[in-house]
Structure 1
């Protein structure tokens, strides 16, 4: 973006610091969540309903077939302040999900027997989506 905007060297450093929390560090994955609503009045009204929703995201590893929960990992916001003092949340949220070495190895060893879900554990927006096995396989490449 700095190149497109014909920015200075100083701006490169600032952008690098701003985006560094989104770069996986070998023991985590990063997630971007977005409320995509084109209509501005509807978007603003919707975002006012979801203040602090960013603290209710989880990545869950479950047994295939039975859906039995094996582990639930909190999605940690990469920055505070995504909800205003007035209670309006941001349309875009960034998360980091840390994994222990044991959890990474378990996932690698059991990829064919588990499913990974991104879950919003909030009564205002109860939602869960299963990540495709191909996506999980690709995400495993981000780990050391």
Structure 2
């Protein structure tokens, strides 16, 4: 299980300014093995403690937050996206470059977040528990960003930790794509989220 972040894990604004170039480079390298394109318009960004520390540090930097209450608000917002040892957590991005196409497609893709899945080889698909913090769909369209949790059984966790292949996909009536199996480096990085 990954520990949640505390104030003691964060750099001060001054220290972050010093270490940011190297820290950012390290995080970008780490993220490359945690970003999974599912078809041409959906990307899953699998989150972990390091990606969330980076997100918090960047928010503190941009917003110039240095007071304890503001720092705690950021920790409270992003800590839920750190895996708990029995799950994967991801940010789903639904992306269309053209504004008009985006409007049309987001209307066609209502519910896509509930039809997104992860599968450990030898087991059933696990569909996402999406947007636990707030509803992001309306009657007219889905959001272009969703937060999701894929809760695995103990047997799935054990299999993934032992090297079983992992696949991901979307099974929505207007968007069906999958990636099976995940590349080895991505699979290995995700397996580290499990305990």
Q: TM-score normalized by structure 2?
A: 0.62
Aligned to 2:34: none
Hey, which of these two has a bigger chunk of strand by percent? 1
Structure 1 stretches lacking a partner, 5+ long: 63-68
Distance 1:42 1:8 in 2: 41
Can you list the C-alpha shifts for 1:84-121, whole angstroms capped at 9, x where unaligned? 2x331111112111223222112233x2xx43211211
1:97 to 122, 147, 150: 150
Which residue of the other structure, out of 109, 120, 126, is the alignment partner of 2:170? Answer: 120
Moved over 4 A (4+): none
Counterpart contact for 1:22–1:78, Cα < 8 Å: no
Higher relative contact order (CA 8 A, sep 6+): 1
Deviation at 1:23, TM superposition (A): 0.7
Are residue 133 (structure 1) and residue 184 (structure 2) matched? yes
Number of aligned residue pairs: give it: 134
Match of 2:81 among 14, 18, 22: 22
Please state how far the C-alpha of 1:11 moved relative to its aligned partner: 2.7
> Do the aligned partners of residues 38 and 8 (structure 1) sit closer, same or farther apart at CA in structure 2, a change above 3 Å counting?
farther
- 3-state SS of paired residue (2:155): helix
CA RMSD, Structure 1 to Structure 2 (Å): 1.9
User: Residues 61 and 27 of structure 1: is their aligned pair in 2 closer, same or farther, counting only changes over 3 Å?
Assistant: closer
5+ unaligned residues in a row in structure 2: which ranges? 1-58
Could you tell me how far 1:42 is from its partner in structure 2?
A: 2.0
Which of the pair is proportionally richer in helix? Answer: 2
Q: Is the 8 A contact 1:60 1:71 kept in 2?
A: yes
Q: TM-score, normalised by structure 1?
A: 0.81
Q: Secondary structure at the match of 1:102?
A: helix
1:73 matched residue in structure 2: 126
| Deviation by residue 1:14-73 (Cα, 9 ceiling, x = unmatched) | 2222222211112211122211222222212211111122111111223xxxxxx53211
From the superposition, tell whether residues 11 and 37 of structure 1 become closer, same or farther in structure 2 (CA, over 3 Å).
Answer: farther
One of 54, 59, 78 as aligned partner of 2:118: 59
